[in-house]
Structure 1
Amino acid sequence: MNPHASKSTSPIQLAKSLVSNRSLIKGLIKREIIGRYRGSFMGLLWSFFNPLLMLAVYTFVFSVVFKARWVGGIGSRTEFAMILFAGLTAFNLFSEGLLRGPSLILGNANYVKKVIFPLEILPVVVLGSAIFHFLVSFVAWLVFYVLLIGTPPATIFELPLVLLPMVLMSLGASWLLASLGVFLRDIGQIIGVLTMVLMYVTPIFYPVAALPEDYQFLMSLNPLTASIEQVRNAMIFGTSLDWTGWLRQLALGAAVAWLGFAWFQKSRKGFADVV
């Protein structure tokens, strides 16, 4: 009998699974974080240096080579770097689920074939690891912001709420891609390219206001646009949360999460036959 054949798609059942497997999830997240840097000389310190290196490269390319400046009178390279880093770390939090999703089941085939294992928690483990690295990047950003600019706005405390819709979308996409990756082995390559494209069509390196009006409408169709803008508002500009827009984003994120989970649960019965 296939242990993964009949699984509920109910959000209540998902919540029960997460609660009952919380110790397992914590252990796997810890292993995921430590395993990423196992054997390296600096270990977890790479989680600090990697985002800082990316920040330095992108800041040089956009502010020095292309002479880019942020719309709204912000001309300092330091301020530009802080704005850029804020959007980039939020996008990285989202994209981790996309990039890791296609290989989740294939990379853990022993869980499918040998034991009764709650496969639905694997995307949650990836999300937990992504949140850890986001927090590391956020602390690095905060330290540099305080040293170079000053005290951040009080709206920074709204950041967990701002990020919630993106987290839900990432989780839903991870469930969907984890399932598709079992049956379509090329999906990982496709998602890698699409994620790169998505990064440049999301207002990370530029504000929406910098685009021509016709393109601003197209940009608004990107589900990440509102969240990235709100991240910058909370971390940099001190603009309070747009609750109407946030509720729309939250509803979209919840819908994506549930649809991804439902697809995963319906398709998991075929994993053992393919892996």
Structure 2
Amino acid sequence: MFRSLWQYRHFILSSIRGDLKGRFVRSRLGGLWFLLHPLAQALIFSIVLSEVLKARLPDTDIPAAYPIYLLSGMAAWSLFNEILTRSMTVFIEQAPVMKKIAFPRLCLPIIVGGTALINHLLLLVAIFVIFIFLGHMPGRALILLPIGIVLIAAIGFGLGVILGVVNVFVRDVAQVMLIVLQLWYWLTPIVYPANVLPEQYAFLLNLNPLAPLTALYQDALLFDRWPSAESLAMPAALGLVSMAFAIVFFRRASPELIDVL
């Protein structure tokens, strides 16, 4: 399987390029919409929560701490959300291509993941520009950001491939996951600090693999703090296990995908 993927690397790269170009054909702003949507959402949250509701972060005297905190968490979530949601439907969306062209089917979620990573890097560039306007520069902990990117992408890819295959056979999976992701978003400390969660729900943070990863983004981009190795152990284990299981599960189910589609 991996040898076949390597042989089709040019197909994967050209598909990623075509996906990026084709999303906003005839659009005046083009690829800028990749950045404007999440930034507009973060701006709305920042205005409503920090200005209207007077939300503030404890233990910091940085004037623009809350918008920076919010942008950092939303950047981490947007990467996970894009890889997972697009991987869940990629086999159904690309069914006509799969029936006409012979290629490793695992290329499809890899193309999705590659496109999401490029979008994420562009978003981070835009966020850094906003940080400059806010008068904030991340510290040395920024060098740990690639660890968060890799772990988020691994979890999103693993879960996305598994759910994508199941969604081919049971189409309700994608609809259920849209609801689950909304709940998952609000159980992740993105809009609020982790210490404000009621005690009876605090245990959910220990079960949430994205909680330490969004915290890594927030620590690296705002607080200049280094995360503990213990906090990243569970996301790293989940990323490895989900990717391994996704590959095995995909190999078992791939002969039947075309027939069902």
| Short-chain TM bin | over 0.9
Counterpart position of 2:95: 109
Counterpart position of 2:192: 206
CA contact (8 A) 1:178 1:264 kept: no
Asked whether 1:264 is paired with 2:250, we answer yes
CA contact (8 A) 2:138 2:220 kept: no
Q: Select between 42-51 and 23-32 the one with higher mean Cα deviation.
A: 42-51
* 1:86-122 deviation line (CA, Å, top 9, x unaligned): 1101101001122112321111112332222111011
Counterpart position of 1:151: 137
Asked whether 1:88 is paired with 2:79, we answer no
The aligned amino acid for 2:23 is R
2:24 to 17, 22, 37: 37
- How many angstroms apart in 2 are the aligned matches of 1:111 and 1:117? 10
What are the within-5 Å matches in structure 2 for residues 54-203 of structure 1? 54-74=41-61, 76=63, 78-203=64-189
CA contact (8 A) 1:98 1:191 kept: no
TM (norm. structure 1) is 0.89
Q: Select between 87-96 and 258-267 the one with higher mean Cα deviation.
A: 258-267
TM (norm. structure 2) is 0.93
What are the within-5 Å matches in structure 2 for residues 221-236 of structure 1? 221-236=207-222
Counterpart position of 1:245: 231
Q: Select between 218-227 and 107-116 the one with higher mean Cα deviation.
A: 107-116
- How many angstroms apart in 1 are the aligned matches of 2:61 and 2:176? 37
- How many angstroms apart in 1 are the aligned matches of 2:160 and 2:146? 20
Unaligned runs of 5+ residues in structure 1 are: 1-12
Unaligned runs of 5+ residues in structure 2 are: none
Change (3 A) 1:248 1:190: closer
Q: Select between 16-25 and 222-231 the one with higher mean Cα deviation.
A: 16-25
- How many angstroms apart in 2 are the aligned matches of 1:207 and 1:21? 44
Task: Give the 4+ runs in structure 1 shifted more than 3 A.
Answer: 73-76
CA RMSD, 1 decimal: 1.7
Counterpart position of 1:24: 11
User: How many residues end up aligned between the 2 structures?
Assistant: 261
Matched residue SS, 1:119: coil
Counterpart position of 1:219: 205
